Structure 1
């Protein structure tokens, strides 16, 4: 049994995660979300410096949300204010994708009840989990 994975962002940390996903036979790369229009449409293997995968990157959130995946490895650019990242994570959770993030979602309640409730509600609606 394999796990279908989307890699979110391909900066230094994202490329490292992408290589691990490609190299691990227990994981299947389902998609790659990029921010840059210059990276959109490239094969994931090209970005990760691996053989071509047949998985093309996208910067279209609708396409990423429609991709069948069990989990999203979320390694976004850190943006201030931090809650600027929340709408994307909410959308991923609502789409039924579990999210593992490097962007500080380890204790949402520390940001206040409204912040935490948005994420909690999205996770419940999508039947998904969030780990930071």
Structure 2
């Protein structure tokens, strides 16, 4: 059953992604916490035309995998310092422990100048696979820019 999750920050939007069941990963023992996302980020353009292209691989436990292998993720952002932003990726299902996970690619593109309170000198982005239990949420940080 879907749970309404409180996700920190300001709503960025939603992203729908699909997975290929044959790409699942199996752990030797079940994980009781969500797995950290794998991320890449690239800055393109300059000045007011500067954009961040962010690609995150979010791992969804087998118990949370929808029958159609497609999920919609809510994306929120929270500026944590003038040059740092956290991106929260959340689904509407609370994490269920598993030893089998499926990768979903979540792509986000934004301009630092369009994010309130974020300077154009963005230095790092933290992407968090958000869970109903904040202590269970897992994140990965990446440096961008100069």
TM beyond 0.5: no
Larger radius of gyration: 2
Which TM-score band (shorter chain)? under 0.3
Higher helix share: 1
Higher strand share: 2
User: Per chain length, whose mean CA-contact separation is higher, i.e. which structure has more relative contact order (CA < 8 Å, sep 6+)?
Assistant: 2
Under a length normalisation based on structure 1, what TM-score does the superposition of the two structures give?
A: 0.26
Under a length normalisation based on structure 2, what TM-score does the superposition of the two structures give?
A: 0.24
